[in-house]
Structure 1
């Protein structure tokens, strides 16, 4: 299954910035129970590769697990070695995209302009992350989709929460990266489950 297949199942990507390896499996269980099957561990979290290894071992093909905040193409190999299948960046770097694809992973790089979007797609990006979404709008997304290749999947990330999912969905968002609205350091698995439930309910309204 590709990125778009997982997004069709549930268009939410849980960004677990700051999660620790010893808590990540329980949090992963909570997310999966609520239907969220794309999990991103940013590399500026404690021991991120170990968290990715544990999630990948626990869920296998049932979840799409990978790394976020990937800045260095060289990191792609160790993410893949840990079982990660997804690389997400905050910036428009075709080199990271190419490294992720060479390592057999999916790449969802960050972009903000049409020029960046086209360059990343040319490098092999599987989907694109509109970041920071707070500085854009659903109208911007709609305009981007009008010029990008048909079927391009764009995920707004930054400031997305249950109450503002609907306008982004209406504009054509294929999914959403959710950070603090789904997990903050110190959140219990039960807290994450409740946040996830609210977000999935918000999708129903969208």
Structure 2
């Protein structure tokens, strides 16, 4: 296991579900991070899918001490640097490129890159990465595909994201090569827009209770 993988796993601290968040209103960042942390999900991924995502990361990282804020949907070195400067403790990408690998190599912030095909997994492995995002999980073959990867890629572990929900999360978590899953069901758009932090905290508490079998 690489030192950066160890660092990332230490940050996640056995958390079974990583909330994948799309924050439209930057004012929601702090109360959302607090609600998720109260529910037991301290590590969160704020995606760069909205105009104010970097400011949302900056606020959550700066104001919510109990949260471990990561950035998602990082596509290139420039976004990696921006997310790092905003206070991200880890970086998540839907894929793996030489540019991203170079940016990660020059940073203390660990990268969780996406890899689906054997070639992508091998490229990440050559770069010293043995903990990868599997995205989009359901669309790419889901549990059966990950089972097939376990033997040829012994020592490579995954965080499946995309189509993962409360209904199928345990199917993924039961696999020996899955450390955690990423999902947006713990913070759905309607509850964020309504400011229903109590409901989000309850969903987070349910998700944090999911444990590998």
TM, length-normalised to structure 1:
0.87
Distance in 2 (alpha carbons) for counterparts of 1:19 and 1:120 = 32
CA shift, 1:69, in A, is 0.8
**Which structure 1 residue ranges, 5 or more long, are not aligned?**
none
Tell me what 2:99 maps to.
95
Q: 1:59/1:102 Cα in 2 relative to 1: closer, same or farther (>3 Å)?
A: farther
Tell me what 1:75 maps to.
79
Tell me what 2:35 maps to.
30
Tell me what 1:191 maps to.
199
SS at match of 1:162: coil
**Which structure 2 residue ranges, 5 or more long, are not aligned?**
1-5
Residues paired across the two proteins, number: 202
Distance in 2 (alpha carbons) for counterparts of 1:46 and 1:190 = 26
Structure 2 contact 137–163 (Cα < 8 Å) conserved: yes
Tell me what 1:115 maps to.
119
Distance in 2 (alpha carbons) for counterparts of 1:2 and 1:82 = 19
Tell me what 2:166 maps to.
162
Structure 2 contact 33–67 (Cα < 8 Å) conserved: no
CA shift, 1:88, in A, is 0.9
Distance in 2 (alpha carbons) for counterparts of 1:31 and 1:199 = 10
Distance in 1 (alpha carbons) for counterparts of 2:158 and 2:37 = 22
Structure 1 contact 39–64 (Cα < 8 Å) conserved: yes
CA shift, 1:95, in A, is 1.9
Distance in 2 (alpha carbons) for counterparts of 1:49 and 1:143 = 37
CA shift, 1:18, in A, is 3.1
Distance in 2 (alpha carbons) for counterparts of 1:53 and 1:101 = 23
Distance in 2 (alpha carbons) for counterparts of 1:149 and 1:74 = 33
Tell me what 1:9 maps to.
14
Deviations 1:57-85 (A, max 9, x none): 1245x433121111121111121111112
TM, length-normalised to structure 2:
0.85
SS at match of 2:91: strand
CA shift, 1:124, in A, is 4.1
Tell me what 1:144 maps to.
149
Structure 1 contact 43–70 (Cα < 8 Å) conserved: yes
